[in-house]
Structure 1
Amino acid sequence: MTRSTVFRRAAIVLASAAAFGMLSSGPASAAPVADFAKGAAELQALATEVSPAASAAVDALLGASVFIPKDVLEVGLTTPQDFMYPSPTLGCGVADKPATVTLASAQGGPNLFPQISANQLRFQAIPAYVAIPQSSELSVAWINLTTFQGGIVKLDDKLPIINTPLLSKIVDTGKGTVLATMFGTVGYADAVTCTVVPTVGTFTV
């Protein structure tokens, strides 16, 4: 095998591993990282044999990776995990009914959009009441059954500029099994307040 052929193969390994690591639809695994490191080492060694200019070009290429956030390199695509049951929601409803439900979920990272880092959960609520929230007093109480860390947080994220409550919050729960309950109220225009009866769920981070 000629040196140019080996050089091309090393470059292909490097590019393929990088693409896999950035576009994988699942959590990052050890294999792509190992392949990337192997391809990078081969490429650097071969570039040194070719010329100083080739070596400098490869070093610049690999050095550019320091500007890529670690979370982006490790990014995957995750899906929300539902709480055990929709939460009965009182004081508001559809078609003048006195009650409705609120769907609650938690989504783990790493995830690109919404941006969630590893060892985090994004708690979120979607009331069935059709209106734009004006205020949120929703909260989540959680405990990590693996580390025994826990807390109570308000779902007080807001949409930039228009300041509309998103009914969500990203929490540094740490890795493990998380037990959580969501409860509280959501305020709407015309003095309408939805009271969300507690729901519970367990989530893997």
Structure 2
Amino acid sequence: MTRSTAFRRAAIVLASAAAFGMLSSGPASAAPVADFAKGAAGLQALATEVSPAATAAVDALLGASVFIPKDVLEVGLTTPQDFMYPSPTLGCGVADKPATVTLASAQGGPNLFPQITANQLRFQAIPAYVAIPQSSDLSVAWINLTTFQGGIVTLDDKLPILGTPLLSKIVDTGKGTVLATMFGTVGYADAVTCTVVPTVGTFTV
């Protein structure tokens, strides 16, 4: 099956799900306070150049809402929107079980940390398997029902320095209602592979 054929089939499945009311949507936030967002982004970039410890410290600082002005909290932070259901995940589990689940979500912008701009979604996944991912082809097929744009992307963000998969990706989806499905595999040490059964969701950008 070609990549374009896979995308067309995913789009048909997602559109059908929406037509039958299978999916639910969550709200996205308004525009951020520009000055604070610019300063926070600059501080994060500087910390990245210094060291992982500096990055962790700055992330903790920006994540401490007590230090962030109330107006920024109201308009500069968004909440991840969950996929419709946790994805059954085969081939790995807790206490030698053969299966577990993967929690998947998408977060819209504008958002301060992680830094997501307007008209973007950050897709992310967390398998319920206690180990550090070593490899991944976890992917998302998406289609914007407002603009009819779409694509298939690999969640190939990596942890700086270590280079291990973060199982996330920021995508320029454009503004509108986005239907998406997540699927693929995540590899761990000792030849353990988690196969993520597709889950679906709808997201407001």
Same fold (TM over 0.5): yes
Contact 1:25 1:76 in 2 (8 A): no
Alpha-carbon spacing, 1:99–1:69, altered in 2? closer, same or farther (3 Å) = same
Q: CA deviation at 1:100?
A: 0.0
Which is further off, 92-101 or 47-56? 47-56
Alpha-carbon spacing, 1:91–1:203, altered in 2? closer, same or farther (3 Å) = same
Alpha-carbon spacing, 1:16–1:52, altered in 2? closer, same or farther (3 Å) = farther
Q: Distance in 2 between matches of 1:140 and 1:184?
A: 9
User: 1:24-81: per-residue Cα shift (whole Å, max 9, x none)?
Assistant: 9999999999999999999999999999999999999999999999999996100100
Alpha-carbon spacing, 1:136–1:50, altered in 2? closer, same or farther (3 Å) = closer
Alpha-carbon spacing, 1:51–1:5, altered in 2? closer, same or farther (3 Å) = farther
User: 1:128-160: per-residue Cα shift (whole Å, max 9, x none)?
Assistant: 011000011100000000000000000000011
Contact 1:119 1:173 in 2 (8 A): yes
Provide the secondary structure at the position in 2 that maps to 1:5: helix
Q: Distance in 2 between matches of 1:86 and 1:203?
A: 16
Provide the secondary structure at the position in 2 that maps to 1:71: helix
Alpha-carbon spacing, 1:24–1:157, altered in 2? closer, same or farther (3 Å) = same
Alpha-carbon spacing, 1:75–1:26, altered in 2? closer, same or farther (3 Å) = farther
- Structure 2: 5+ residue runs without aligned partners? none
Query: Match of 1:44?
Result: 44
User: Given the two structures, how large is their TM-score scaled by the length of structure 2?
Assistant: 0.66
Alpha-carbon spacing, 1:163–1:58, altered in 2? closer, same or farther (3 Å) = closer
Greater Rg by CA: 1
Provide the secondary structure at the position in 1 that maps to 2:17: helix
1:120 paired with 2:120, answer: yes
Q: Distance in 1 between matches of 2:174 and 2:138?
A: 22
Give the superposed CA RMSD.
20.2
Query: Match of 1:29?
Result: 29
Alpha-carbon spacing, 1:73–1:25, altered in 2? closer, same or farther (3 Å) = farther
- Structure 1: 5+ residue runs without aligned partners? none
Which is further off, 60-69 or 14-23? 14-23
Contact 1:144 1:150 in 2 (8 A): yes
Contact 2:187 2:194 in 1 (8 A): yes
Provide the secondary structure at the position in 2 that maps to 1:190: helix
Q: CA deviation at 1:164?
A: 1.0
Q: Distance in 1 between matches of 2:5 and 2:91?
A: 71
Contact 1:123 1:168 in 2 (8 A): yes
Alpha-carbon spacing, 1:174–1:99, altered in 2? closer, same or farther (3 Å) = same
Provide the secondary structure at the position in 2 that maps to 1:22: coil
User: Given the two structures, how large is their TM-score scaled by the length of structure 1?
Assistant: 0.66
Contact 1:104 1:126 in 2 (8 A): yes
Displaced runs of 4+ in structure 1, greater than 3 A? Answer: 1-75
Provide the secondary structure at the position in 1 that maps to 2:100: strand
Q: Which has the bigger relative contact order, CA under 8 A and spacing at least 6?
A: 2
Determine what percentage of the aligned residue pairs are the same residue. 96
Q: Distance in 1 between matches of 2:98 and 2:5?
A: 72
Alpha-carbon spacing, 1:20–1:171, altered in 2? closer, same or farther (3 Å) = same
Provide the secondary structure at the position in 2 that maps to 1:89: strand
Contact 1:156 1:168 in 2 (8 A): yes
User: 1:9-30: per-residue Cα shift (whole Å, max 9, x none)?
Assistant: 9999999999999999999999
